[in-house]
Amino acid sequence: MSERRRRHNDFVESPEDIAAILDTVSEKVPKMIRGVIDSFFSPEAAQNMAKSIAEFRKTLIDNGIPEDDAMAMTREYMATVTNWKGMMKDARIGAHYHKDEE
């Protein structure tokens, strides 16, 4: 028996244990996902993001960046912080990989 198979067998649970684990996961994961989504899309999160973007633009202008350039940079900044698709892709949700596989 291979080392990997032996380690796997050490962690195999009974069907009842697996059912209990799945019950717990099915209860907790949706709550966790809702919490994450709410933290990004709540009115408070939107207000904080707007303040952050406004402060970014103001800082650029205060430091001598021409207003047109500051606005372009602010739009780019806003696109970056609101790029959920790219962030999820980079996070590799659900994927298991080794650093050497990239």
The pLDDT score that the predictor gives to residue 96 is 54
pTM above 0.85, yes or no: no
Where are the chain's structural domains?
A: 1-41, 43-92
pLDDT for 100 equals 54
- What's the confidence (pLDDT) of residue 61? 97
Along the chain (102 residues), what's the average pLDDT of each consecutive run of 10 residues?
Answer: 58 78 88 84 88 96 97 93 70 55 50
Compute the CA torsion angle 67, 72, 74, 78 (nearest 10 deg): 160
Q: Determine the pLDDT at residue 88.
A: 65
* pLDDT value of residue 53: 94
Residue 102 to residues 21, 87, 98, Cα–Cα distance (Å):
32, 17, 7
Q: What is the CA radius of gyration of the chain?
A: 23
